[in-house]
Amino acid sequence: MEKEFSSLNESTDEPTKKMLQSLVDKKRKFDKYKKKCLYCQLFTFGTVLAFMGYFYFCILKQSNSDISAMISLFLQQSFHLFFVMSIIAGYATALYFKKKEEKAEKEFHALRCEVIRKSPELWPKPYYWKKREQVFLMMKKKFGINLFYESK
C-alpha cells in the first residue's frame, strides 16, 4: 500500500484505502499500456519512414520508374522482407497495446466513477466529509487522478 494512504489515519477507513490503492494500480496499468502503445506507434512510424526513404532512393531511382524493374529489385534481396515484416509486426503490436490500453482505461474510469458516486458512503459524517477534499487533492496531486468530477 502507498505511504500516502497510511497518513490518512482517521479520515479514511481500510476498505476505502484499498479502493484508492486499487484505483492507483489501475491508473498505473493504464499509463503503462499507453506508453507501450506510443513506443510501438513511434517504432512503426519510424520504420515506415525509413523504408519509404530507402525504397525511393535505392529502388525507385535505380529502376527509373519501371514497375517490372522495381518489383525485380525489391524481390532480389531478402532484406526488404525484413523491413516489411518489421512494419507489420510494429503495427500489430501497436494495435494489441491499443486494445489493452482501452480496456485498462475503461476499468480505471469505471472504478474512478464508482469512488466518486460512493463518496457519501465512504465519508459519511460531516467531519470526514471535510477531510474527503484533502484526500481528493492528494490523489490529484500525487497520482494525477481527478475524483472531483466523473467526466474524463
How close are the terminal C-alpha atoms of the chain, in Å? 25
Rounded to whole angstroms, the Cα distance separating 152 from 139 reads: 15
Helix, coil or strand: residue 17: helix
22-80 pLDDT, tens digit each: 999 999 999 999 999 999 999 999 999 999 999 888 888 888 878 888 888 888 888 88
- Whose cell is 523504408? That residue is 51
Domain that holds residue 98: 14-143
Residue 80 lies in a domain: yes
Taking CA atoms, 137 is separated from 113, 116, 140, 142, in Å, by 16, 13, 5, 8
Residue 74 lies in a domain: yes
Residue 5 lies in a domain: no
Residue 44 lies in a domain: yes
2: its cell numbers:
502507498
Whole-model pTM: value is 0.85
- Mean pLDDT score, 111-136: 86
Residue 3 lies in a domain: no
85-116 pLDDT, tens digit each: 999 999 999 999 999 999 999 999 999 999 99
Q: Report phi then psi at 144, rounded to 5.
A: 70, 30
Taking CA atoms, 140 is separated from 5, 27, 94, in Å, by 13, 12, 29
Rounded to whole angstroms, the Cα distance separating 105 from 124 reads: 29
Residue 8 lies in a domain: no
pLDDT at position 9: 67
pLDDT at position 31: 97
DSSP state of 57: I
Q: Between 13 and 11, whose confidence is greater?
A: 13
Count structural domains, the chain: 1
Residue 9 lies in a domain: no
Residue 76 lies in a domain: yes
